[in-house]
Amino acid sequence: MKIAITSDSTCDLSKELIEKYDIKIIPLYINKGSESLRDGLEITPNDIFEYVDSGAGVCQTSALNMVDYTELFEERLQSYDAVIHFNISSGFSSCHANARLAAEELENVYVIDTLNLSTGSGHLVLDAAIMAQEGKTPEEIVAVINGEIPKVESSFVIDTLKYLHKGGRCSALTALGANLLKLKPCIEVKDGKMDVGKKYRGNFKTVILQYVRDRLVGREDIDSRRIFITYAIGTPEEVVDAVEAEVRACMEFDEVIRTKAGCTISNHCGPVCLGILFFRK
């Protein structure tokens, strides 16, 4: 049985992984002024940052509609026996609800609410693609993935609350206080929603290495087969290198994969942001 694995663009998997595992990505829309542009195809994170810095305003993310999903599923079903599709958490977007409506009109389409974002979702997409290549049935894949969803641990540290504030996700007072105190908040995904965890203080490199140690050191509940280091494009490469070295020093993973955040995450978190995302046992 030939199974198509599809995902919206928020999964932040690299082009190399997408091609290797035959994953079909459907881009969300990014609204910039009067333009509605497709994530990664017609707009990049750099375009978003330049637009915000120009003072013209902020970009907004927009969910795919039922027609978008119907077209995707019908196109995949022409070459595949079944489709398993992954969405950003229903707590962040109406994408999942729209995809489910589209799937109800078709046979052999399975829609999964990852209750996550970025490579937190990417972990699940990748596991499904591997199982599809191994010849697992759709029902077997969906059962495994549903068991994995609560085990994904996703968090990011952001350098500034400017973008969350401009996007209406935190108050002006909170943003001002954090900036004055040079706080770098850790944003965690819990039960499909974002929450603020530990608030770090200091320069980003020092903070991000402490964050890695806080997440990994002294724990016995981490699945060591894979970890993603996902970061916004404005994060200095030397910082990403230091994070990878720190991850490897803290714990031995089978795979340490670096990926860049796409438009959706970047639009909310800004140009300097980094997270480590992995499974718990």
DSSP string over the chain: --EEEEEEGGG---HHHHHHTTEEEEPPEEEETTEEEEBTTTB-HHHHHHHHHTTS---EEE---HHHHHHHHHHHHTT-SEEEEEES-TTT-SHHHHHHHHHHTSSSEEEEE-S--HHHHHHHHHHHHHHHHTT--HHHHHHHHHHHGGGEEEEEEES-SHHHHHTTSS-HHHHHHHHHTTEEEEEEEETTEEEEEEEEES-HHHHHHHHHHHHHTT-S-EEEEEEEEEE-TTS-HHHHHHHHHHHHHH---SEEEEEE--HHHHHHH-SSEEEEEEEE-
Q: Which of 1-15, 139-153, 212-226, 256-270 has the lowest mean pLDDT?
A: 256-270
**pLDDT per residue as tens digits for the range 203-255:** 899 999 999 999 999 999 999 999 999 999 999 999 999 999 999 999 999 99
> Would the pLDDT of 107 be above 90?
yes
Which pLDDT value is given to residue 165?
52
Which of 96, 114, 149 is the endpoint of a domain? 149
Which of 149, 177, 194 is the endpoint of a domain? 149
Which pLDDT value is given to residue 163?
63
Which pLDDT value is given to residue 173?
39
**pLDDT per residue as tens digits for the range 49-78:** 999 889 888 888 889 999 999 999 999 999
> 76 and 205 share a domain?
no
> Would the pLDDT of 147 be above 70?
yes
Domain count, the chain: 2
> 104 and 188 share a domain?
no
Q: Which of 75-79, 108-112, 177-181 has the lowest mean pLDDT?
A: 177-181
Parent domain of 235: 151-280
> 60 and 7 share a domain?
yes
> 105 and 161 share a domain?
no
Mean pLDDT (the chain) is: 91
